[in-house]
Structure 1
Amino acid sequence: MLGNAFAGIQVAFSDGLHVGDVVVIEGEWGRVEEVKLTNVVVRLWDDRTLILPTTYFTERPFQNWTRHETRVVGKVQIHVGHTADLEDLRMETQRLVESSPLWDRSQWVLQMVDATASSVVIEVQVSAADGPAPGTSAATSARA
């Protein structure tokens, strides 16, 4: 109990975690809802609630996507055949990105990142103003 209290003080003063931050914890992403002296409450992307002792954040690594700003960049990797028309793929990606209300008009890129004997790996990166954009649920934003 005392360890959790000291960890809570450390989390509060380290400036590494705030209410509203988007975090990734052991492969699950969510938004911090509460930071208490003994625990941290995180609302996961699928509306589950994860409650962790504050010692978790002093003893294990975690990702804070919004420590300094709320803007996030999502990425998707697509495996296509070697004969795929990349210009057609780029044009269709641009059409989809530009029509999305989640895109913040800041950045998007389509690039080849790997090749195997059977496919080419294309990565699409797109920026958004926030993880779950205003007016959408977290689950909708995750699918978009």
Structure 2
Amino acid sequence: MDALKTRLRLTAEYLKRESSTAVDELMTAAFHAVHTPAGIAGELVRRGEGPAPLPPTGGELRSAHHPITKEERRTQFQEELRTLLDRERKETIDGPALRRIAELTELFQDENAAQIWWERAAHRGDAVARMMLADH
């Protein structure tokens, strides 16, 4: 038994040492790629393979001194729910969209009304909806 414990301890130490080295190497390579003028990230963007560009300018800017009020947030959620319900009436929407309808319905109405949407989202394959239904 002592030989097994020793072997397990040595294996754990080896894995810890090797994984730590691999993480250090990865972080160093990532840092150098991003923080050099002609880094890999810049090269990928030039070739059109990098991260998506920033969204177009516009919209409503808010400073940290003027946060969104609860009423404005509630209005945004209600508009989102209306938009999703309109989309659902016109076309087939996916499980995550149905889950969002369930979440917003719970927020504004009651759990009984939301239950139907949770079930539809789970039926369309949404993993979170399935998990929620399993918990009830």
Q: Which has the higher contact order (CA 8 A, sep 6+)?
A: 1
Q: Give the structure with the larger strand fraction.
A: 1
TM-score band, normalised by shorter chain: under 0.3
TM-score w.r.t. length of structure 1: 0.22
Q: Give the structure with the larger helix fraction.
A: 2
Q: Which has the higher Rg, Structure 1 or Structure 2?
A: 2
